[in-house]
A = this chain, B = another copy of it.
Amino acid sequence: MSDTTSAAYGDLLDRVGRLSNVSHASELLSWDQQVMMPDEGTPARSRQLSALSAVRHDLLTDDELGRLLDDLEAAGLDDERRAVVREVRREQERAVRVPTALVERISAASSEALTAWREAKAEDDFGTFAPHLSELLDLKRRYAEHVDPDRDPYEVLFEEYEPCLPLDHAEDVLTSLREAVVPLVEDIRAADADLATDTFTGTFAADRQDGLMRDTLDALGYPWERGRLDVAPHPFSTGTTYDARITTRYDEDDPIGALLSTVHEFGHATYTLGLPDDAYGTPLGEARDLSIHESQSRLWENHVGRSRAFWERFLPRVVEAFPGVGDPSVREAYEAVNAVDPSNLVRVEADELTYHLHIVLRFEIERDLLRGDLDVAEVPAVWNDKMESYLGVRPETDAEGCLQDIHWSHGSFGYFPTYSLGSVIAAQLFDAAAADLEGLDDLIRAGEFDPLHDWLTDRIHRHGKRFETNELVRRTTGEDVSADAFVDYATAKYGELYGLQG
């Protein structure tokens, strides 16, 4: 590397470091807003966040950054440095291409849409939300056009959340999921099996749930010297490799909800914690976008937290924390945490299997809306038709139908698919881990999580954004991103649970 190139690369890292640190500062402000901030703090916090966002935009659109990227792209860097330049360029390009005024309009329109959505949901009146949804679709179409006028706008928007997996690849995965899950759910419904869904009923005090969560996180190996657990209305995880925080929520009727949600967020946190300290502030120290992030949370939630082996280990702890549940068997616990309920209309409460159909439905609707193949006014009917077709159940209200999620009121079109992508990647990774780590089930049963944790850090976490999504999965599993592993896993698991024909 020439001295000039080396100096340019150093300058790039300085600028990227500042950008990254400003982003992490914003994330901390958001964490505080959701976890600590007093009720009336919002006006100041909103302005602080918007100032940091403006600072970020100015740093990204600085002409000198563009020149550095031009020079470095032409300089013949090694693979690792080229990956850094690629990742910075992707962000810089969007920031430069989309006018600030449009970003601000979208932000203002989302604010208004959010208020309208809350009202519409509370009053079950889609008409209140519809004009805001139309406006946001229009603005986001224009946003996509600025980024690239020659491409499908939905494809462009999808890349906000999953920039490194082509949309047609993602769409193949979602189609495979639909084609496999719809008949599997039909078989389950037809089986009319009687699973032990009432294993954990009663009232479960929040402070005892909190103790159980801390014990569970201890047992999973969560490093408290680099994290914390707090309560938030919508659980999330955030932070850096030095400080990766988890939030959860306690429902006094349902300790298992909090437990699996905490294990899910633990999965996100392990990814953040597994990023290399010495690449902090560069793309090599940052997580590979939403699908891979979600693969880590789903792997821990579903493949660990919903496994029989996990319940052999953890059921005694749950019983100790809540003696009122009596003396359930591991089988009863396993059934309770895995029962499939197609009649559940609400995505965030859906089981591991039907969840995908909720996602496929949203994906198809938002894609068609963006492409102009569907009118906003038709959304409620199409939503309900698809619910009936995929899940055999029809919402009676839009509040429990197309108004249930906050995402569209944020203008987030293209986000939903990353949930299912994460889940199928989780299945692929878990299979690969099971092939590499002898007796993975026994390890889980013995409460020995380090080998799995280390394997994931070695294969996924430590690379940061070094590889693009499919390459990362292929390097680790030998396969492209695909629904196959999930479908095999689900077919076997639910076949056994529901006594289906193999």
A92 to B38, CA, bound (A): 32
Whose C-beta in chain B lies nearest to the C-beta of A281?
A: B47
Residues on B with beta carbons closer than 8 Å to the beta carbon of A245: 38
Residue of B nearest to A285 (CB): B44
One of A236-244, A416-424, A492-500 contacting the partner: A236-244
Q: Is the CB of B24 within 8 A of A54?
A: no
Q: Is the CB of B47 within 8 A of A280?
A: yes
- Given A38-B243, A51-B17: A44 and B22 interface contact (C-beta under 8 Å): no
A287 and B67 CA atoms in complex are apart in Å by: 42
Q: Which of A40, A44, A280 has the most CB of B within 10 A?
A: A44
Q: Which residues of chain A from 323 to 378 have a CB within 8 Å of any chain B CB?
A: none
Q: Which residues of B contact A26 (CB under 8 A)?
A: 25
Report the minimum CB–CB distance from A237 to chain B (whole Å).
14
Q: Specify which chain B residues have a CB less than 8 angstroms from the CB of A223 in the assembled complex.
A: 40
Q: Which of B42, B243, B281 contacts A40 (CB under 8 A)?
A: B243
On whether the beta carbons of B228 and A36 are closer than 8 Å, the reply is: yes
Residues of B within 8 A of A52 (CB): 21-22, 25
| Oligomer copy total | 2
Docked complex Cα distance between A339 and B243 (Å): 45
Report whether B242 and A44 are in contact in the complex, using a CB–CB cutoff of 8 Å.
Answer: yes
Tell me, yes or no, whether A43 is within 8 Å of chain B by CB: yes
Contact yes or no, B280 A38, CB < 8 A: no
Q: List 22 A-B contacts (CB under 8 A).
A: A17-B51, A21-B48, A21-B51, A22-B52, A24-B44, A28-B28, A28-B32, A28-B48, A32-B32, A38-B226, A38-B228, A38-B245, A40-B223, A40-B242, A40-B243, A41-B242, A42-B242, A43-B242, A44-B243, A44-B280, A47-B281, A55-B55
Known: A43-B242, A43-B277, A44-B243. 19 other contacts (CB 8 A): A18-B51, A21-B47, A21-B50, A21-B51, A22-B52, A25-B25, A25-B26, A37-B243, A38-B228, A39-B225, A40-B242, A41-B226, A41-B240, A41-B243, A43-B280, A44-B240, A44-B241, A44-B280, A55-B55
